[in-house]
């Protein structure tokens, strides 16, 4: 993990203003407006989706963080592992010109933040880089859950719960350092 933390930390802080998972249905996912010339739905990813995906590190690093999230954090108990992995695998298999499940990205980003927070390599010489990565993933997850287009998704509820747990763990970690 130590050699991967710099890769996570080099992600930029820039932010800009949905295949169905096992939770979301096609009817309640956000879809761009139809193309007026062809009257067909636009198949390209939105700039918002592209921006979010640009913050994902290499799949191998995300795999490691997700594995650590499920094996070594107490917050993973709020996540149904089978559904998570179904959406996770679908995300990586989605062609570049198709929409992704943005509410699931909210869950994935905050899961990554929780994994980094609990990882033993996030202390010591990696503390600053780890903190920046946690803040980035927390901010990205918050950006998704606060977007009204995604208010009616179970993934948004799950991400909000995980965000709360992340904040509580972060506060308790800082309080224990003061004692």
Q: What is the DSSP string of 89-115?
A: HHHHHS-TTS---HHHHHHHHHHHHHH
Residue 33 in any domain: the answer is: no
Asked whether residue 107 carries a pLDDT value surpassing 90, the answer given is: yes
Is position 43 within any domain?
Answer: no
- How do residues 1-39 score in pLDDT, each as one tens digit? 344 443 344 333 333 333 333 444 333 444 444 444 443
Whole-angstrom distance, CA of residue 64 vs CA of residue 7: 13
pLDDT of residue 157 exceeding 70:
yes
How many structural domains compose the chain? 1
Q: Residue 138: is its pLDDT beyond 70? A: yes
SS3 assignment, position 26: helix
Q: Is 147 helix (H, G, I), strand (E, B) or coil?
A: coil
**Per-residue model confidence (pLDDT) at position 11:** 35
Decide if 165 is inside a domain. yes
Residue 41 inside a domain? The answer is: no
Global pTM value = 0.72
Domain presence at residue 4: no
Helix boundaries (H) for the chain:
5-9, 47-53, 59-72, 81-93, 102-118, 127-145, 154-178
What is the domain extent for residue 109?
Answer: 65-179
What's residue 67's pLDDT?
Answer: 95
């Amino acid at each position: 993990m130590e050699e991967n933390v710099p890769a996570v930390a080099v992600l930029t802080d820039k932010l800009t203003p949905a295949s169905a998972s096992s939770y979301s249905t096609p009817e309640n996912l956000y879809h761009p407006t139809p193309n007026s010339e062809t009257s067909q739905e636009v198949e390209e990813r939105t700039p918002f989706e592209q921006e979010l995906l640009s913050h994902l590190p290499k799949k191998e690093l995300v795999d490691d963080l997700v594995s650590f999230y499920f094996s070594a954090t107490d917050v993973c108990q709020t996540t149904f592992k089978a559904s998570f992995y179904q959406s996770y695998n679908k995300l990586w298999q989605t062609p570049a010109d198709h929409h992704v499940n943005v509410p699931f990205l909210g869950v994935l980003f905050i899961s990554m933040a929780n994994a980094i927070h609990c990882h033993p390599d996030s202390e010591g010489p990696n503390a600053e880089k780890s903190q920046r990565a946690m803040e980035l993933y927390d901010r990205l997850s918050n950006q998704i859950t606060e977007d009204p287009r995604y208010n009616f998704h179970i993934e948004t509820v799950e991400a909000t719960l995980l965000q709360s747990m992340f904040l509580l763990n972060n506060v308790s970690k800082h309080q224990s350092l003061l004692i």
